[in-house]
Structure 1
Amino acid sequence: MNVRSNPDRRFANTLARGLGLLRAYRAGDDGLTHSELAARTGLPNSTVSRLTFTLSELGFLSHEGRNDRYRLGPAALALGNVATASVSFIDIGEALMQKLANDTGTLVSLAVSDDDRLMLAKTWRPSGTASIWLEPGHRIPVYGSSSGRAIVAALDDARFEATAPSDEMRKFRSDGYGELISRGFTIAPRDLRFSDTINAVAVPFHAQEYGQPVAFSCGALPSVLDDARMETTIGPRLRDAVRELEQMTGRSPALVRRG
């Protein structure tokens, strides 16, 4: 995840670099060294050093004595708690999505747009499973993922065109839209999937807090979740769970029918 610069005079590149450093952290990290942060962000070590010092002084990172690893600090934790509390649909859907994970034996995930990729903002793993594939903070591509297909299919035309999509992305979106209209969920085509170690099915949800669609997905290893099971069992279960969440939160469906 390289931190990008922007030539627009209104864009604060130093702030972007600092936030990019915080975004480099994943749920399973036991702290990160300067070299690890530099590798994840694409920033020079000298820049990383200045940013970690500043962020530590402000409480967004913590650094204990001679330990060369930086961890997210109390200010980051407080900010994350405030952000989570302000997104009501996550709390409302907690029990619903956990039950879906338990019943299907899949990892249920919430994916949100993160620059030109998607980030898993929340995951629900089946009860009794110690570790399962992906964690919050993990980033996946839009093109080639079922969650990306669901989100771009639910975008309005103006917002989609603002991304300067390629012809391949246009077809990816169009086919995803057809899937959502016909059956209510999307599955990335096998030959386009960004990874051959996980299969997933996704459904968009209108997150008014973000002003754009997000995607709920169910994923698992291909040996657990093959295409037939996604299409006949897991896809319909996920679709129905998202519809129930829409009713619980009073949200309109994410998909806007196009003429």
Structure 2
Amino acid sequence: MKDHDKADKRFLNTLARGLSVLRAFRASDDGLSHMELAARTGLPKSTLSRLAFTLCETGYLSHSYRNDRYRLGPAALALGNIATASISFVDTASGIMQALADKTGTLVVLAVRDDRKLMLAKTWRPVGKASIWLEPGHRIPVYGSSSGQAIVATLDDDRFEATDPDERLRAFRQQGYAQLIARGFTVASAEVRFATTINAVSVPFYAQEYGEPVAFSCGALPEILTDARMQQEVGPALSAAVRELERMVSRGPALVRRG
């Protein structure tokens, strides 16, 4: 997490640390121990203990003393349901993206910016087919991912500069922008992909609820989703699916030509 102490006095580090505890949980977790939470958040154990106690007292965590594991509490559940209901495009996208997952045999994901990384907010698995195992809450890097490339390529200049980019990320952004102009989707080049076991292709979507782009991506093992298949079949199919979503919610494309 970026150190905001000196950059902006409005930033509350205690609140940010508390939120990092909530963000540590994944859909497949059967609770997390104090040690597991410390490992995932990077927080000192004493700080984590105080935060966990406060989150339990306010209903955002629950704690089973029998097995000493924390789980998200009823307040977190209510907040998640409110957030889901307020983001209308996700429900609209579900039918389109599930059909795409079934057609292409890939895992379709929705990725959003989360601090310095991306978080998978929603996944759609192909019915009756094996797929890579990524789940909501999983985080991936911006640099080296097709989702990250699609998002940074369509961020406005002010938001992009606020990420404190290095020259490597600037070049990555420019490559993504050129790909979106040329063919409507991004594929991170083989030499910078963050994972050699997953291939993915991505298309940005402007989410008015967030005020910035998110990314829809199709991913699979390289032997299933080859570079040729990404370029010739799955990329165009994903682009068409996102365009259909834009028509259904009456929004224009995320890509805006920069000056």
Cα distance in 2 between the residues matched to 1:55 and 1:129 = 39
For residue 136 of structure 2, what is the aligned residue in structure 1?
Answer: 136
The answer (yes or no) to whether the contact 1:101–1:125 under 8 Å persists in 2 is: yes
Measured after TM superposition, the shift of residue 82 of structure 1 is 0.4
Map Cα deviations across residues 159-182 of structure 1 (whole Å, 9 max, x no partner): 222222211111111111110001
Moved more, 232-241 or 121-130: 121-130
Q: Is the 8 A contact 2:131 2:220 kept in 1?
A: no
SS in structure 2 at match of 1:111: strand
1:256 aligns with 2:244: no
- Aligned partner of 1:58 in structure 2 is 58
Structure 1, unmatched stretches of 5+, are: none
Distance in 2 between residues matched to 1:74 and 1:129, nearest whole Å? 34
Counterpart in the other structure of 1:74: 74
User: Percent identity among equivalent residues?
Assistant: 70
Whether the 8 Å CA contact 1:121–1:137 is kept in 2: the answer is yes
2:216, 2:36 → 1: CA distance? 30
Is the 2:33–2:68 contact (alpha carbons within 8 Å) kept by the matching residues of 1?
A: yes
The one-character-per-residue Cα deviations of 1:135-159 (angstroms, maximum 9, x if unpaired) are: 0001111110000000011112222
The reply to whether residue 95 of structure 1 matches residue 104 of structure 2 is no
Q: For residue 83 of structure 2, what is the aligned residue in structure 1?
A: 83
Deviates more, 1:75-84 or 1:55-64: 55-64
* 1:1-259 equivalences in 2 (<5 Å): 6-7=5-6, 8-129=8-129, 132-259=132-259
Q: CA deviation at 1:129?
A: 4.8
Aligned residues: 258
**Deviates further, 147-156 or 64-73:** 64-73
CA 1:4–1:130: 2 relative to 1, 3 Å:
farther
Distance (whole Å) between structure 1 residues aligned to residue 3 and residue 246 of structure 2: 35
In structure 2, runs of 5+ residues without a counterpart are none
CA distance in 1 between counterparts of 2:110 and 2:233 reads 19
Letter in 2 for 1:235: G
Tell me, in whole angstroms, the C-alpha distance in 2 between the residues paired with 1:130 and 1:34: 33
Q: Which digits, 9 at most, give the CA deviation of each residue in 1:93-124, with x for residues without a partner?
A: 11110110111110000000011111001110
Q: Write the distance in 2 (CA, Å) between the matches of 1:154 and 1:255.
A: 5
| Distance in 1 (alpha carbons) for counterparts of 2:161 and 2:151 | 14
* Preserved contact between residue 204 and residue 216 of structure 1 (Cα < 8 Å): yes
Distance 1:42 1:99 in 2: 39
Given that 2:132 and 2:221 are in contact with CA atoms closer than 8 Å, whether structure 1 keeps it comes out as no
In structure 2, C-alpha distance between the alignment counterparts of 1:132 and 1:225, rounded to whole Å: 11
* Cα contact 2:203–2:217 (8 A) shared by 1: yes
Aligned equivalents of 2:125 and 2:137: distance in 1? 15
Normalised by the length of structure 2, the TM-score is 0.96
